[in-house]
Amino acid sequence: MARRKIIAGNWKMNMTPSEAVKLCAELKDLVKSDDADVVYCVPAIDIVPVVEAVKGTNVEVGAENMYFEEKGAYTGEISAAMLKDAGVKYVIIGHSERRDYFKEEDALLNKKVKKAIEAGLTPILCCGESLEQREMGVTMDWIRLQIKSDLVDVTADQVKELVIAYEPIWAIGTGKTATTEQAQEVCKGIRDCIAEMYDDATAAAVRIQYGGSVNARNAAELFAQPDIDGGLVGGASLKADFGKIVNYK
């Protein structure tokens, strides 16, 4: 059975609550699709108004981050239970900006993945290499290490339900995009890694996105690849072009 495409917008630190509601209204008809799951991953302050704004549409709401503890003295953090209760379905974990700017390491991300699953959220687990790592020829070594570390003690049945997003760090927000061949090669490498860790059925079930300067011009070619099951879209998710990415065919 073919994997259903999933196309998620990562709004990052953009959109006030009022701007978010306006954007949802603008995109409502443009992102209608029977062929793909559509997700808006929004800043924490936008979650409640966006959940309300997308009611009755095909759009699900995701968070951009969460903490692994259930409650307590963790000022500024948001728990998986809070997200679930607010109507969130997906949560991005391990985005390169979180890894780089906020020094989030794999042991922490593994705790987040497990807590998200426990709470009934679907993790969008990010992985990717720097330009230096690609030029050194260690892309797959690095990504395999990330995947193996982040999925410690996660079962095959749980892995089948999550989403993995491959984002070459050198292509995020730079306007540079990995070639179709480069993106497919790494996404296949991720699937092969999952097969080694679990089994072929798990590898065949898990959905793997490509992210990194995805736009309306390159979406169709990228998403046509056998191991690319959609995209994690940054800047282009904040404008009407996101509708063209969702309806890429």
Percent of the chain exceeding pLDDT 70 equals: 100
CATH architecture of 5-246: Alpha-Beta Barrel (3.20)
- With cut-offs at 50, 70 and 90, classify the pLDDT of residue 177: confident
Encode pLDDT of 51-82 as tens digits.
Answer: 999 999 999 999 999 999 999 999 999 999 99
The predicted structure's pLDDT at residue 206: 98
* C-alpha span between 62 and 47 (Å, rounded): 8
Smallest CA-to-CA distance from 76 within 42, 39, 44 is with 44
Rg of the chain over CA atoms, in angstroms?
Answer: 17
Residue boundaries of the structural domains of the chain: 5-246
Which strand (E) or helix (H) includes residue 239? none
The predicted structure's pLDDT at residue 1: 61
Contact call for residues 159 and 110 (beta carbons, < 8 A): no
The predicted structure's pLDDT at residue 56: 97
Mention every residue, 6+ apart, whose C-beta is less than 8 A from residue 235. 173
In this prediction, residues 165-189 reach a mean pLDDT of: 90
pTM (2 decimals)? 0.97
* C-alpha span between 214 and 222 (Å, rounded): 9
Burial label, 76 (beta-carbon count in 10 A; 0-12, 13-18, 19+): exposed
* C-alpha span between 249 and 61 (Å, rounded): 23
Annotate 34-61 with b (16+ C-beta within 10 A) or e (fewer): eebbbbbbbbbebbebbbebbeeeebbb
Does position 173 have pLDDT exceeding 80, yes or no? no
* C-alpha span between 136 and 217 (Å, rounded): 30
64 is catalytic: no
Structure tokens at 51: 């959940």
Q: Mean pLDDT over all residues of the chain?
A: 96
Candidate list 60, 64, 97, 167, residue with the active-site label: 167
In this prediction, residues 157-168 reach a mean pLDDT of: 97
Encode pLDDT of 110-121 as tens digits.
Answer: 999 999 999 999
Encode pLDDT of 192-247 as tens digits.
Answer: 999 999 999 999 999 999 998 899 999 999 999 999 999 999 999 999 999 999 99
The predicted structure's pLDDT at residue 221: 96
60 is catalytic: no
Contact call for residues 211 and 234 (beta carbons, < 8 A): yes
DSSP string, 166-213: E--GGGSSSS----HHHHHHHHHHHHHHHHHHS-HHHHHHSEEEEESS
Candidate list 60, 95, 104, 129, residue with the active-site label: 95
In this prediction, residues 138-156 reach a mean pLDDT of: 98
